[in-house]
Structure 1
Amino acid sequence: MPARRVITQRSQEPRRRFAEELRALRTEKGESLRQLAERLGWDSSHFAKMESGETLGGPEVVEALDQHFGTPRLLVTLWELARADTTQFKEQYRRYMQLEVEAVSLWQFAVSVVPGLLQTEGYARELIATSGTKGEALTQQVQARLSRQELLNGGDAPPFRAILAEGALRTTPRSDEAWREQLGHLMEMSTRQNVTLQVLLQGAGLHGLVGTDVMFLRASNGLAVAYTENAHRGELVQEISSVEQLQLAYDSMRDLALSPAESRTLIGEMLEEAPCDPST
């Protein structure tokens, strides 16, 4: 009979368990982080962050680790469970919120909706309500989102660049009044010295951030992190090479966008054409 696997005392939290198993497999193989990096072709700092739980890494590196350790699908399965853990997503978002407040500069690409830092109350309320949030919980979430915008106010406000895919300006709330208010707010924000607003037209073509909302936050020490998000999940990206790849994609995409002046003209035209609420 095959030997029974000893029951471990390792964590039942998916992300931590993934990190523990990865560290245990490397230790059992008698490899240092540097040796592992040399054999697989990734930076040793990347593996160190994976073993500390700071990052999960991508599917390619996890598959390579499974092959290297001779553990078919074990690490991939744990990685998938860790990525699906909503508790960890909330923890990452809390960390992101802390970094956002401390950032000395911010720049963002929004795919399908107006960025939270630029939303009006009416727009935010309708958008958050689409998730099924109601009543007092809805009001609390709207107020929490609006309170974040305070970091763009005042003389020491950090510079903020937002690039909006045209789709974000074509996906309108049901309330005509809320949409006109939102467009007017974008016009007003675009005049601020610390805010740069650009629009990426649909005809600009494919680029490296298609389908990816991303916010970059630069700290006072010069290091940047990225937060990527879709309708169902978000991920805080801190590994230097991964952030740099996202930044290169952002820079290339920015070159395709309208200038700030052209973007302001477009939004102004949309405001003029926006329907008025019949009740007003």
Structure 2
Amino acid sequence: MPSRRVITGRSQEPRRRFAEELRSLRTEKGDSLRQLEVVLGWNASTFGKMEGGQSLGSPEIVEALDQHYGTTPMLLTLWELAVADPSQFKEQYRRYMVLEAEAISLWHYGGGTIHGLLQTPEYARELLAEGGLKGEELDQQIEARIGRRKVLEGDEAPPFRIILSEAVLRNSLRGCQEWRGQLEYLLEASEQPNVTLYVLPHGTGLHGLMDAPVTFLRLSDGRTVAYTENVVRGELVEETGKVEGLQRRYDGIRDLPLSPAESRTFILRILEVVPCEPST
């Protein structure tokens, strides 16, 4: 097998590099897309989309390809670079994504939707579709959003404190199983040592962030920036005075939520009344 370029986080186009590598490896081995389907079990069109740059696939598919080509862990490394590449996000979100990946701590209040770092693919699909995305662009943005989860993984993952309004947990997805999966993923994420999840129940009164979901990022240079977002747009707030104003609003609700243990129990009780059985 010919020598390959060094894999680094400085790749200018990691998504394209990943697709090119997939095509090159398959050509060298003499496989057709149909042969990959027979050997590995995923549809030939899935491999075609990955080689064409329309899809990144899942880590399970990429690990199987690594084993098939004897390249472990090269393809998975390229995949991780591709899903974390800020260039695949819409332009207005890219600077935030860079800062999110560099943050040394994060804290968030969500009044209407679940934070992107805690979304399942099904939740992300329905939410982004409501914002007007469709087709290939929708698929790419889902992959990009799910790839952001890497921020919360590993020994050096930053602490992440989340306060979710009860309304977030009542705004279910259209699909029962998909909604159950999202609630279960929230519980799973809350078990991570760096993630602390709080539920703000109905009846706690009016507060300054009722119409302003916000995420704060503490950066290594000591600055804190804020990000407000809805389904169709987001705004990165870096001006010190405006950030401090949002922080004061956040501080006003910090002591109102249920404790982490009570919050888990709250979500479990919601799961009990979801009208479908856990998937097997």
Aligned to 1:204, the other structure's residue is in SS state coil
Q: Which amino acid aligns with 2:184?
A: G
Equivalent in the alignment of 1:156: 156
CA distance in structure 2 between the aligned counterparts of 1:187 and 1:233, rounded to whole angstroms = 28
Please, which runs of 5 or more residues in structure 1 have no aligned partner?
A: 1-89
State whether residues 227 and 237 of structure 2, in contact with CA within 8 Å, keep that contact through their aligned partners in structure 1: yes
Aligned to 1:228, the other structure's residue is in SS state strand
What per-residue deviation string (whole Å, max 9, x for no partner) do you get for residues 139-192 of structure 1? 111101000111101111100111111111111110000000001111111111
What per-residue deviation string (whole Å, max 9, x for no partner) do you get for residues 189-216 of structure 1? 1111100001111211111111101010
CA-based RMSD of the aligned residues comes to: 1.9
Equivalent in the alignment of 2:182: 182
> Residue 263 and residue 137 in structure 1: after superposition, are their counterparts in 2 closer, same or farther (change >3 A)?
same
State whether residues 93 and 234 of structure 2, in contact with CA within 8 Å, keep that contact through their aligned partners in structure 1: yes
Aligned to 2:108, the other structure's residue is in SS state strand
CA distance in structure 2 between the aligned counterparts of 1:151 and 1:220, rounded to whole angstroms = 15
Equivalent in the alignment of 2:27: none
Aligned to 2:179, the other structure's residue is in SS state helix
> Residue 248 and residue 279 in structure 1: after superposition, are their counterparts in 2 closer, same or farther (change >3 A)?
closer
**Larger-gyration structure (1/2):** 1
CA distance in structure 2 between the aligned counterparts of 1:261 and 1:107, rounded to whole angstroms = 18
State whether residues 109 and 164 of structure 1, in contact with CA within 8 Å, keep that contact through their aligned partners in structure 2: yes
State whether residues 131 and 231 of structure 2, in contact with CA within 8 Å, keep that contact through their aligned partners in structure 1: no
Equivalent in the alignment of 1:99: 99
Structural mapping, 1:1-280, within 5 Å: 91-276=91-276
State whether residues 177 and 279 of structure 2, in contact with CA within 8 Å, keep that contact through their aligned partners in structure 1: no
State whether residues 107 and 216 of structure 1, in contact with CA within 8 Å, keep that contact through their aligned partners in structure 2: yes
1:279: how far off? 9.9
Aligned to 1:185, the other structure's residue is in SS state helix
Aligned to 1:106, the other structure's residue is in SS state strand
CA distance in structure 2 between the aligned counterparts of 1:235 and 1:135, rounded to whole angstroms = 25
Aligned to 1:254, the other structure's residue is in SS state coil
Runs of 4+ in 1 over 3 A off after TM superposition: 277-280
Q: Which amino acid aligns with 1:118?
A: L
Please, which runs of 5 or more residues in structure 2 have no aligned partner?
A: 1-89
Number of equivalenced pairs: 192
Aligned to 2:264, the other structure's residue is in SS state helix
Higher mean displacement: 168-177 or 223-232: 223-232
TM-score between both structures, scaled by the size of structure 1: 0.65
Equivalent in the alignment of 1:3: none
Q: Which amino acid aligns with 1:139?
A: D
State whether residues 176 and 277 of structure 1, in contact with CA within 8 Å, keep that contact through their aligned partners in structure 2: no
CA distance in structure 1 between the aligned counterparts of 2:185 and 2:148, rounded to whole angstroms = 16
Identical-residue share of aligned pairs (%): 58
Higher mean displacement: 99-108 or 135-144: 135-144
